[in-house]
A and B are shown apart, each in its own frame.
Chain A
Amino acid sequence: MVIHPVLLIAIPLLFAFLMPLLKRAKAVTIIILLFNTLLAILMFHNVYNNGPLYEIIAFSPPIGIYLYVDNIAALLAVMINLLAFINFLSVEKVEIKFAMLYLLAVASSTGIVITGDIFNMFVFFEIAAVSSYALVAWKRDKEALEGAIKYMVLGSIASVLMLVGIAFLYSEFRSLNIYDIMNRMDEGSVLILLSFAFLLTGIGVEAEIFPLNGWVPDAYQGAAGSIASLLSFGPSKAGIYAIARLLMIFSWQQSYDLALSVGIMTLLIGELAAFRQENVKRMLAYSSIGQMGLILISLSMLDSTDYAIIAFFFLLVSHAASKGALFLLSERKGFGSNASKYAGIVSVMSLIGMPPMAGFWGKWYIIMGAMQMEAWWIIAAIVFSSVVEAAYFARYLSTTMQEEEHASIIAAYPPAIMATLTLLLGILPFIYKIATIGGVING
């Protein structure tokens, strides 16, 4: 069976724009997301058995649209679509515009992951960003608008910077194909260095790295639970994956050092900011920042140790699923039902890094890797941030466990399913195998 990765992007895009014509927005969206998930799983199966998948649309590279799907990209596509599907189940009242924006955000996030073309990536970023602005503002109250505006301001700056970066790159290589550029990359002229700086800054805004993440707390705070959840596993994860690719393109020691120092700063500042935070969503947002820092640290070790890639995957996937669940749960004051309690505890434990949740493997491999590199400061930072994290999450649990507010099925089960995913990934660490086979992130 031939699988066309482009369908993953095309179908939601198509239906997103067809949405005003359709009556039953919720059902349609659910079907599309389910279909997309299945497609992604099939694609992953295909890629896993037969090796990376290419697809060229319209023209041959380096001019045309070029999709490149390897193990990791396929897995991320599965993750984004699956979580989007589960997350969508928790939305009670679906308006047409909402469904449209949601599909756009999902499609564009998937696009960022599977594209092999840096300009396409920019386009998808733009779509993701624009739909995210609208989604954040969805509640239309003061907080939501504030968050959306901040997001929009920073997002616009980011897109300009990204565009400039791409322009520099294009002027140097006369190509936009990531693979192509990667192969031709060498020491680098001033222009290339500048393009790296611009691209990193531009993508970094989306990937929530310090200090480009000013929009994060406000946007997450303003957005509804399901939107915050979408942001955390959609665009931001795609963004950090884009940074991974960026590091692959510009694979100099300098850029890894940069990623490491930025990562440690992001980790510490994110966790510390969460430590004193009273608002749940804001706290979770800061915690996301911290986790992004951790992921960035794992990326910065890509060059030095084999564990980094595994750590990267576990951290990415576990954080996506568990933070998604927690944002969904943050809609209500307390957990209120056993399913929610289960979801809350499992997700928190995964974030803290306790086995048998998936987050544990991330921490295990990142520490293993750091030991191999004999990078003591990484370990010190992780130890410190873990304790801080534990402290504020325990505080979080102690308040949420006590509040008795009954949760409806629709509110209780989607997070529980996400938590189960985390748990299963931890108990059956097959990703370990996938990641070791997948090996490297290609362009």
Chain B
Amino acid sequence: MVEMVFAVLIIAFIFTLFIKNNRVASIISLVVSLFPLAAFLDWGREFGINLISIGFENTMNINMAGITLHFSISPLAWFFGIMLFSLIPPILLYSYSFFSKNDGFYPFMILLMVSVMGILLSSDFLSFFLFWELMALGIFIMICRNGDRKAMVRYLSYSVLSGVLILAGIALLYHMNGTLLFAEIMLKADFETMVAITMLIIGFAIKAALMPLHTWVPPVYSTSDEPFVAFLSGGLSKIGYYGMLLLLFAMPGARVMEAYINSSIATYLLAIIGSLTAFFATFLAIFEDDLRKLLAYSSIAQLGYIAVGIGTGSSIAMAGALFQAFNHAFFKATLFLAAGSVAYRTGKWKISELGGVAYKMPLTFMAALFAIFALAAIPITSGFAAKWLLYEAAIERRYVFIAPIMLIAGVGAFLYSFRILYGVFLGENRYPDIKEAPKPMVAGMFLLVMPLIIFLIFPGYMLDMMDSFLSSAGLATISHSPYVIHTTLGNYNTIAVIVGMMFAMIPAFLIYVLRKQHLVDFEDNFIGGEIPSLYEHISMHAAHNFYKPLKDVVMPYLEGGATSIYSSLYKVVEKIADGARKIYDGVVQDYAIYVMLFLLIIAGWLLW
């Protein structure tokens, strides 16, 4: 049955390659994308969550001459599978209207599905790596479609670095264990294992955009097509964390790490890097004017939280990390799609050039608003539960450095959230002639918002989904009911919040309903008694360089960050490369001398 899903996907891949019509391709890929989703929903049986029952088998072995690829489902893979594959259909629905012709988006989305499925199901490192690189390739081709040089160069360099490091790590593990099967690899607390794990984690961290390995993200996110970026940011970036979790917790051999993790500097380092990522990326996002780059930095920041959770390593932290991953998948995909809708109608990306879009695109705005609430972890979305678990975990472990950093990054999220809300959607109505986004796009966005609402009311269901992973990783499960989460430090009761909110809303609602109000024109605004309509153009949109006072204070400290380190490194490499090039000076006499010198040297060396 697993073979069937793969086969369907691959056939669809080849088929959609030759379809030019966007709508047909969209529908085909939409239908096809339901297969893996159905498979994963079905596999929920294994982990005590009966959603649908079809009876997919859950193991598969492929024999290729001399090499066997092993596939089977694990609780962690199941969680990520549900997350990623429920993300895809809405995105494909959105693309139904977004693109005008099929020029390679759909086939490579399907290819990415294949690779994700392969990564999640693989139970040995060879197949994991094969599909990992297939994913990297798929992403690269997607980036190629828009052909931005910076994005392509950065992505490919990072991706290859990540691939080679992972490959080296795998090779080292193989060398020590003599096997590639997850089930048989034993991790020990010796130096070589640490080297292997470090290499693997750095490789994974590149995909997960942890600082300082994040510099490929902003150019890539800001130049590719939005539906793809939604999937890249929402879905594929989590695969890096899947790798880390697999390595540190899910592999049976990783149990040996437990004792190690409790006192480990290494994982504490991961948590610190995660929190600093969240912190600095938040600041970078605050000052960014390009909407897509802002969202890119925001992605980096939000992904940093997951690293904190993994680095902290307690069961609360793990639950928080997974919850955060899930939330981030959906709200960031929604935000990218909303940004795409806005650009679809206005053609603008700069926040300072946008404004007042919400009045004409209320549905897009509502989806984006809800996603932003989730992003800012306002307790009326599921975004809060995840962050709350992470904060609890940090306090539980007494991570006095990480907890405040995370909290401040959370506050910083308000700053850039408001920048999106005000700069793009509110304020001066600059685009009075646009229409609401097409229906499939709106439907796609609202479908993506749904899980955020469901898990707002029932965060316990989310914890149910992780329970089998937590217990398989040897961590305690968190005591919870569908709507209450208990930790050793405190409780979070969503029903109390919701009911309390309903009661609290009564007076506000009464005031709102009982007193009449009338709508006034946008221009009817008090600006020192001045009358905007008397002038030809008077900009009332204060979105340009919005946080200037803060920027003046903070920016001097943010300069000289990762990008400048890399650019100086790049310059050094360039210089060396120029030196290497100068060896080939084009003078044939020199070349002849090289030959003779070589002869002399090796002859001398051999004789000596």
Contact = CB atoms under 8 A, between A and B. Distances in A.
Q: Do chains A and B touch in the complex (CB under 8 A)?
A: yes
Interface of A: 149-150, 153-154, 157-158, 161, 190, 193-194, 196-198, 200-201, 204-205, 211-212, 214-215, 217-218, 254, 258, 268-269, 272-273, 275-277, 286, 345, 349, 352-356, 360, 363-364, 367-368, 370-372, 374, 379, 382-383, 386-391, 393-395, 397-399, 401-402, 428-430, 432-433, 436
Contacts of B140: 349
B10 to A, nearest CB: 11
A276 B574 CA distance: 7
B171 A354 contact: no
A428 B62 CA distance: 12
A275 B591 contact: no
A272 B163 CA distance: 20
Nearest to A372: B175
Given A273-B581, A390-B160, A364 B167 contact: yes
Contact of A254 (B154, B580, B584, B606): B606
Contacts of A153: 588, 591-592
Contact of B599 (A197, A214, A275): A197
A193 B607 contact: yes
Interface stretch (B74-82, B129-137, B352-360): B129-137
Contacts of B599: 161, 197-198, 201
B23 to A, nearest CB: 21
**Among all A-B residue pairs, the 9 with the closest Cβ atoms:** A214-B591, A390-B160, A394-B156, A272-B580, A398-B149, A197-B603, A371-B171, A275-B577, A211-B594
Given A367-B171, A379-B168, A401-B147, A272 B581 contact: yes
B576 interface: yes
Nearest to B171: A371
A200 B65 CA distance: 36
Given A197-B602, A197-B603, A154 B588 contact: yes
Given A383-B168, A390-B160, A345 B144 contact: yes
A388 B129 CA distance: 21
B168 A367 contact: yes
Interface of A is mostly: helix
A269 B580 contact: yes
Interface string B525-559: 00000000000000000000000000000000000
Among the interface residues B164, B175, B590, B603, which one has the most CB atoms of the partner chain A within 10 A? B164
A150 B591 contact: yes
24 contacts: A154-B591, A157-B596, A198-B603, A204-B598, A214-B588, A214-B591, A215-B588, A272-B576, A273-B577, A273-B580, A273-B583, A275-B580, A276-B574, A349-B137, A354-B160, A367-B167, A386-B163, A390-B157, A390-B161, A397-B144, A397-B152, A429-B64, A429-B67, A433-B66
B595 A387 contact: no
A192 B140 CA distance: 51
Contact of B591 (A215, A276, A355, A402): A215
A401 B592 CA distance: 38
Interface residues of B, number: 60
Which among B140, B167, B586, B603 has the highest number of chain A CB atoms within 10 Å? B167
A398 B148 contact: yes
B133 A157 contact: no
Contacts of A352: 156, 160
A197 B604 CA distance: 9
Contact of B606 (A196, A382, A401): A196
Contact of A205 (B149, B579, B580, B595): B595
Nearest to A252: B606
A153 B168 CA distance: 42
B165 interface: yes
B580 A190 contact: no
Contacts of B590: 214
Nearest to A389: B160
